[in-house]
Amino acid sequence: MSLELVQDYANYWAYIVLMMIGMFAMISKNNLIKKLIGMVIFQSAIILFYVSTGVKEGANIPILSHDEVHPAHHGDDHAGDSHDAPHDKPHHADAAALDPARFSNPIPHVLMLTAIVVGVSTLGVALAIVQRVYTDYGSIEEDEILEQIRPGAHD
Amino acid sequence: MTSNPMKLVALAAVAVTGILLLSATPDFPAWGDPQSPASTSAMSKHYITESRFETQVPNLVTSVLADYRGFDTMFETVVILVAGLAIIGILRRPFQPGPRKVDGKKEPDLIQVVTCRLVVPVLQLFALYVIAHGHHSPGGGFQGGVMLGASFILMTLTGGLPATLARLPEQRALFLAGLGVLIFAGTGLLCMMLGGNFLDYEVLHRIMPGTGPVMARSHSMLIVEIGVAFTVCTIMFSIYAILSSRGEMRGGL
């Protein structure tokens, strides 16, 4: 197990361990809330995994500085409010090109923003369902609920 | 019937899956590799190099979220709204007076009330800043909306649910949530009515005085982010209010 192997892939090992902890909780725990916590742990591992694919060595955050958004060759009309009144078309030829390797990949961040929000919504609905199960069956332990639904039956 | 057989089966399944996944990790790109397939895709390069010319927004994540992938963000907002509505449908019920198992009635604690009074205005102001400054710094509609919702939750935790509901009634919260989605989808429909594609912000420069097609995209991004913030803030508060009061919206934690 060389050091480079650990250095390159240790993050994936951490996420897989988290994922397996979450999966074990979802399958084997009896308490419904603990199952939900397992689901949240699983989602967090997935989100971490995706965000880690956007990392580039030595890269900065995906936010440009003011000079990079308005390249220097028309630096005299920044006091104006409409930046593109005389020049609307992209200036590819005369502005210095941005090196994509200097910025982290923005796409995984965007996808995971959506995933986090959807995860929170799912968790909210799941908690509401658990509350409703509690008021209807009087318990949030899976085996007690199954006893009430199917008396004396096995899993 | 014990649950030990199930736990052993679960442990075996998890171990097998874990070992399979761990053995597949050398196929993944290495940590921080600039030549990984995700980092060298044409789309990623286009977003990084061309976003400043096409949208004039420094924050690449916001420009991808609200402009290039705006359709996805719109449905994400709809998901939040639908989740709020689902929770209302599952849990909301009329107030049933009677003995309660959990006593939620307590005098508000003085330290909590004073701290809340100091913290909430700053928190809300900062949340509005995060929404408005999402073009230039990390932020945007989701982040600021969650902070606004958290400020209402803080008011509920310290001052009680009835006091916060006096400020943000349930009807108004739902109306604002729907208004947020309407702002987002309405911007897209407005683009269609002006002749462009759905959520094609460039054509909005005809109704925005003093902007060209590029700045119209930047301003439209702010408009849709405000819509997103409306929905996220009110639904976050509604979820907390309904879950903590067990659907009755009277007392609670």
pLDDT 10s digits, B38-51 = 888 888 889 988 88
Residue A65 in contact with partner chain B when CB distance is under 8 A: yes
A100 interaction partners in chain B (CB closer than 8 Å): 39, 44-45, 48-49
User: Distance between CA atoms of B93 and B161, rounded to whole angstroms?
Assistant: 16
- Hey, what are B175's tokens? 């109306």
Helix (H/G/I), strand (E/B), else coil: B207? coil
Residue B93 pLDDT grade (very low, low, confident, very high; cuts 50, 70, 90): confident
- pLDDT by residue, tens only, chain A of 155 residues: 688 888 888 889 999 999 999 999 999 999 999 999 999 999 999 999 999 988 888 888 888 888 777 776 544 444 444 444 444 444 554 567 778 888 888 999 999 999 999 999 999 999 999 999 999 999 889 888 888 888 875 55
Dihedral sign from CA coordinates of B168, B172, B174, B177: negative
Query: Quick check: A117 and B211 CB within 8 A?
Result: no
Which class for B87: exposed (0-12), middle (13-18), buried (19 or more C-beta within 10 A)? buried
User: Distance between CA atoms of B141 and A36, rounded to whole angstroms?
Assistant: 27
Task: Please state, rounded to an integer, the average pLDDT across all residues of chain B.
Answer: 89
Helix (H/G/I), strand (E/B), else coil: B44? helix
pLDDT at A84 (0 to 100): 43
Phi, psi of A31 (to 5 degrees): -75, 135
Query: Quick check: B30 and A81 CB within 8 A?
Result: no
Q: Which of B84-88, B150-154, B197-201, B231-235 has the lowest mean pLDDT?
A: B197-201
Query: Quick check: A83 and B246 CB within 8 A?
Result: no
* Spatial CA neighbour of A121 closest among B170, B87, B168: B87
- Hey, what are A154's tokens? 């096995």
Query: Quick check: B44 and A59 CB within 8 A?
Result: no
* Spatial CA neighbour of B149 closest among A17, A69, A120: A120
* Spatial CA neighbour of B85 closest among B187, B188, B184, B173: B173
B56 interaction partners in chain A (CB closer than 8 Å): 69, 83-84
pLDDT at B2 (0 to 100): 53
